[in-house]
Amino acid sequence: MAFIDYYKVLEIDKKATETEIKKAYRKMARKYHPDLNPNDKQAEIKFKEVNEANEVLSNPENRKKYDEYGENWQHAEEYEKSKRQQQHYQGSGQQGGFGGFEGGDYSDFFESMFGGRGTRGGGRQSAQFKGQDFNAELHLDLKEVYTTHKRTLTINGKNIRLTIPAGVENGQVIKITGHGGDGAGGGPKGDLYITFSISNHTDFKRDKNNLYSNVDLNLYSAILGGEITVNTFDGKVKLKVAPGTQNGTTVKLKGKGFPVYKKEGQFGDLYINYQIVVPTNLTDKEKELFTELAKLKKP
């Protein structure tokens, strides 16, 4: 997997200030945002790289490590520890004390960290480090995560086929092992972490596995009762209304909520909140009848 130069990704100089980094990130994020580039795989890749670059360069400590160790910046502490041990053995006159490495300057040592000339017991040995973890964001609509489905992502030019279980939540993160950066010195690949960003363009409000919906109820049905048809997430159902239903009354439809993550066949509940609609533009006859009704209700 090719090394990504985060400075080039944000189109900034290596001496850029924190303010310049923040400004560049906002500019590039807007340019490649998925909402502005629907179905554009290259924009999706660039957007991921922009976020990844900002994550590293906006953190002063991480940026310092990145400037010195490049793509292996996440292993900076391990390299520094190894370097101190090597210098200790060299300073004490010992040869091959650290992992059997022969004496030499720092560049020789650094080379050995990537599978260089160090030996122990006549055999070849090199330090192995796991590759860099990658982070990506996947934008989905609430309707898409109501059912389990497959999706292909393009990460750093490679297609990854995913099965997205029904019920995944906004902000949830999943790990895909071995799809990060290449390891150093023969070490394992890093992992890919995907964060789900789920938008809701429905009339339902979601809270974990439960759904909530407001339903208009005409005054006559509220007073006399009856039967109405309401929308659920996967269709319509008929619902009986009790006589004398008050405004704000909530009824629960068991099992009509959202799928429970990775629990096939299990669903939350749907809560219907009645909003009684007072009739307007009454005819003279209707006003007359309401007046009569009011007189009957007077003590």
Residue that wins the pLDDT comparison between 66 and 51: 51
Residues 164-176 pLDDT 10s: 999 999 999 999 9
What CATH number is given to the structural domain containing 61? 1.10.287.110
Residue 102: φ, ψ to 5°: -75, 155
Instruction: List the structure tokens of 179.
Output: 């799809």
pTM: predicted TM-score of the whole model, two decimal places: 0.58
Which of these three, 199, 227, 243, is where a domain ends? 199
Which pLDDT value is given to residue 88?
53
Which pLDDT value is given to residue 76?
61
For residues 204 and 162, give the distance between their C-alpha atoms in angstroms, rounded to a whole number: 27
Residues 185-228 pLDDT 10s: 778 888 899 999 999 999 999 999 999 999 999 999 999 999 99
Which pLDDT value is given to residue 91?
55
Which of these three, 183, 199, 215, is where a domain ends? 199
Residues 96-140 pLDDT 10s: 433 333 333 433 433 444 344 444 444 444 567 888 888 888 999
Task: Judge whether 51 lies within some domain.
Answer: yes
**Does 190 share its domain with 91?**
no
Stretch 68-95: mean pLDDT: 60
Which pLDDT value is given to residue 84?
60
11: domain range? 6-122
